[in-house]
């Protein structure tokens, strides 16, 4: 295990008084103390060439959260067992795997894994296969059963969610784009958004009028115990909510923000979106535009979402993660950077950026700490990997590594 050399950098930030407790505005005084940055220490889990997506789940039901990651060039599905990080290959029947989503849909304590394979940026080259993998009870078994649920060109982001709150998860699929959308602008056609019921895995349409690229769909509890979806696309940030139950769900859509609109496609809209409770309200955060450079915070301003750019120097933006990492009740933001330093890109800025919230996320000063500056990272998830009560981060990306970042606390 290699110790992250940025630890010293973070410690220096703490020593220079970034550790606050003095929010400096009325809202934070009323809410309580705002904490400064916590320190993160990086640990390698495994190398993965061209890492793309990472998720966390307890695969062997031992109380420790394990890690699954995939890469387009690695034709295997494998999870890594916490804490030894032994790699368990569970499926070898798919290639060009772009995303996965993990949930225990059978209730036996061992999760199922939905994967999307045969991905390409061009519909003509992408069968877009959607699979559900089941362990049969032994999560270390090398031959999980794979069921081909659907094929839809450019299937690209997958999630489990319960949009009718009946206790049974549905599967959600957001293909990247419509068949006529092509490089370089990718905006010639409309994209679609689907769900599948567990009984028959029938494809049900949610929306087929999404312009350009859909990059991420994120289930959130918006205003009830139903899961709603925030979508990041060329259209910006949109909210999808279901009414009705079972096969009879119908969907409403609201554009919360058009996102980044200063340039034409493909530098348009949003790349990813997250939401979390913060203080006595909530924030939405995104990275914009698609594959963009801006970290954006949205705050609720009497029912409309006020857009604020807090950072513009992400070299290769992709995903965002929103969570209170220093335990002060205010949601913080993780924005990875997938730009590598190469001969053609000597000014790459690979790594992971964390932004700690001020007492007023709309007007206060966010504290930026870079917790990784060596490995290009495409996405991060969070889990309490070492079971000490503090949320840790797990990331992977084109830097070729899966790493977890131990939340060392501090920041009070």
* Chain residues in the site for Ca ion (CB under 5 A): 58, 60, 62, 64, 66, 162, 164, 166, 168, 324, 326, 328, 330, 332, 357, 384, 386, 388, 390, 392
Q: Least Å distance between CB 170 and Ca ion?
A: 5
Of 58 and 187, nearer to Ca ion (C-beta) is: 58
Q: Least Å distance between CB 130 and Ca ion?
A: 18
58 Rama sector, left if φ>0, alpha if ψ -120 to 50, beta otherwise: beta
Of 142 and 387, nearer to Ca ion (C-beta) is: 387
Q: Which two tokens stand for residue 26?
A: 């009325």
Of 176 and 206, nearer to Ca ion (C-beta) is: 206
Q: Least Å distance between CB 395 and Ca ion?
A: 15
Of 160 and 260, nearer to Ca ion (C-beta) is: 160
For the chain, how long is the longest CA-to-CA vector? Answer: 59
The whole-angstrom separation of Cα 66 and Cα 52 is 17
Q: Least Å distance between CB 379 and Ca ion?
A: 19
Q: Least Å distance between CB 357 and Ca ion?
A: 5
Q: Least Å distance between CB 169 and Ca ion?
A: 6
Using DSSP's 3-state secondary structure scheme, residue 311 falls into: strand
Q: Which two tokens stand for residue 267?
A: 């530098």
Of 113 and 176, nearer to Ca ion (C-beta) is: 113
* DSSP secondary structure string for all residues of 334-381: EEEE-----SS-TT---EEEEEE--SSTTTSPPEEEEEESSS--SEEE
In 3D space, the residue among 154, 94, 143, 150 whose CA is nearest the CA of residue 121 turns out to be: 154
Q: Least Å distance between CB 90 and Ca ion?
A: 14
In 3D space, the residue among 62, 60, 56 whose CA is nearest the CA of residue 138 turns out to be: 60
Q: Least Å distance between CB 61 and Ca ion?
A: 7
Beta-carbon contacts of 342 under 8 Å, excluding residues fewer than 6 positions away, are 348
Of 72 and 103, nearer to Ca ion (C-beta) is: 103
For residue 274, give the H/E element and its range: strand 272-278
* DSSP secondary structure string for all residues of 175-234: ESS-TT--TTT--SSEEEEEEE-TTT--EEEEEEEEES-EEEEEEE--SSSS-EEEEEET
The whole-angstrom separation of Cα 217 and Cα 206 is 13
Of 118 and 332, nearer to Ca ion (C-beta) is: 332
Of 376 and 394, nearer to Ca ion (C-beta) is: 394
């Amino acid at each position: 295990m290699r110790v992250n050399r940025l630890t010293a950098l973070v410690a220096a930030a703490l020593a220079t008084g970034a550790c606050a407790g003095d929010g400096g505005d009325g809202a934070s005084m009323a809410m309580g103390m705002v904490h400064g940055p916590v320190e993160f220490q990086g640990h390698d889990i495994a190398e993965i060439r061209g890492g793309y997506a990472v998720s966390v789940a307890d695969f062997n039901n031992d109380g420790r959260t394990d890690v699954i990651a995939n890469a387009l060039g690695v034709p295997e599905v494998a999870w890594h067992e916490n804490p030894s990080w032994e790699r368990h290959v569970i499926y070898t029947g798919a290639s060009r795997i772009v995303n996965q989503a993990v949930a225990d849909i059978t209730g036996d304590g061992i999760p199922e894994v939905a994967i999307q394979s045969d991905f390409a940026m061009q519909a003509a080259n992408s069968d877009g296969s959607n699979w559900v993998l089941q362990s049969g009870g032994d999560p270390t078994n090398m031959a999980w059963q794979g069921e081909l649920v659907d094929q839809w060109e450019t299937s690209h982001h997958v999630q489990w969610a319960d949009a009718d709150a009946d206790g049974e998860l549905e599967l959600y699929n957001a293909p990247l784009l419509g068949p006529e959308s092509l490089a370089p602008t990718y905006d010639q056609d409309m994209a679609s958004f689907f769900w599948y019921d567990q009984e028959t895995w029938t494809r049900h349409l949610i929306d087929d009028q999404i312009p350009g690229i859909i990059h991420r769909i994120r289930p959130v509890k918006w205003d009830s115990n139903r899961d709603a979806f925030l979508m990041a696309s060329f259209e910006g940030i949109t909210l999808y909510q279901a009414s009705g139950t079972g096969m009879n769900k119908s969907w409403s859509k609201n554009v919360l923000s058009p996102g980044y609109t200063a340039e034409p496609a493909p530098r348009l809209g949003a790349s990813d979106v997250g939401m979390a409770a913060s203080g006595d309200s909530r924030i939405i955060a995104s990275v914009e535009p698609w594959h963009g450079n801006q970290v954006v915070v949205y705050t609720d301003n009497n029912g409309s979402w006020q857009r604020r750019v807090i950072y513009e120097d992400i070299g290769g933006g992709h995903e965002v993660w929103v969570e209170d990492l220093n335990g002060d009740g205010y949601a913080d933001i993780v924005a990875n950077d997938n730009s590598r330093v190469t001969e053609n890109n000597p000014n790459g800025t690979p790594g992971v950026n964390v932004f700690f919230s001020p007492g007023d996320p709309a007007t206060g000063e966010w504290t930026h700490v870079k917790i990784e500056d060596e490995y290009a990272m495409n996405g991060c998830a969070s889990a309490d990997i070492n079971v000490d009560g503090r949320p840790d981060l797990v990331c992977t990306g084109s830097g070729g590594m899966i790493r977890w970042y131990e939340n060392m606390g501090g920041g009070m």
